[in-house]
């Protein structure tokens, strides 16, 4: 595929960091558990730069509309340990902070390469072409929690 790309083939490669929504099992599971007063466990040594699914959908749509060629990347602006995300969710839900338990991924038998020090990507090219900038992790989680409230109210 890269050979075709270097010859000017009409294709684009889009790379994204962790795409999340209310239906992401890990996030949804934490929200449900913390809402019930149950404990959750999150890795302190695995990081994430989450992206909301709607921004990713827009990026793909824009790349198709622009008939873009090349490699395009999009990530949240900063990496955050999963435990920080879980703690933020607990705080926003007014759950007991002690319900979030920190653990290390080193003993979790994860596939090789799963534990990364950095996940952020250079999103400059996509931003230049489409004007897309990803929100920070806290805005992403706030959006998911607001969506949950809307769904629960129905």
Q: What is the mean pLDDT of the chain?
A: 92
* pTM to 2 decimal places: 0.89
Confidence of residue 8 (pLDDT cuts 50, 70, 90): low
Cα-based distances in Å from 153 to 28, 31, 66, 148, 150: 17, 16, 38, 9, 5
Fold exhibited by the domain 2-153: Rossmann fold (3.40.50)
How many other CB atoms are found less than 10 A from the CB of residue 12? 18
What torsion do the CA atoms of 25, 30, 21, 103 make, to the nearest 10 degrees?
A: -80
For the stretch 43-81, pLDDT in tens is 999 999 999 999 999 999 999 999 999 999 999 999 999
- Structure confidence by residue, pLDDT tens digits, 86-121: 999 999 999 999 999 999 988 887 777 777 888 999
pLDDT score, position 52: 96
Beta bridge partners of 72: 14
| pLDDT on residue 106 | 85
Per-domain residue ranges of the chain: 2-153
Query: How many C-beta atoms surround the C-beta of residue 105 within 10 A?
Result: 16
User: Is residue 84 over pLDDT 80?
Assistant: yes
Residue 109 φ/ψ region, left for φ over 0, alpha for ψ in the -120 to 50 degree band, beta for the rest: left
pLDDT given at position 6: 66
Q: What local confidence, expressed as pLDDT, does residue 18 receive? A: 95
More confident residue, 109 or 39: 39
pLDDT of residue 5: 56
């Amino acid at each position: 595929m890269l050979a075709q790309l270097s010859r000017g083939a009409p294709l684009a490669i889009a790379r994204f960091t962790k795409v999340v929504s209310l239906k992401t099992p890990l996030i949804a599971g934490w929200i449900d558990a913390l809402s019930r007063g149950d404990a959750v466990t999150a890795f302190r040594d695995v990081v994430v730069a989450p992206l909301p699914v709607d921004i990713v959908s827009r990026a793909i749509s824009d790349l198709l509309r622009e008939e873009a060629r090349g490699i395009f990347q999009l990530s949240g602006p900063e990496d955050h340990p999963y435990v920080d995300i879980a703690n933020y969710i607990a705080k926003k839900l007014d759950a007991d902070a002690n319900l979030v338990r920190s653990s290390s991924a080193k003993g979790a038998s994860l596939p090789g390469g799963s534990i990364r020090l950095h996940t952020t990507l250079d999103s400059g090219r996509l931003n230049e072409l489409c004007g897309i900038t990803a929100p920070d992790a806290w805005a992403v989680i706030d959006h998911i929690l607001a969506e949950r409230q809307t769904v629960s109210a129905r």
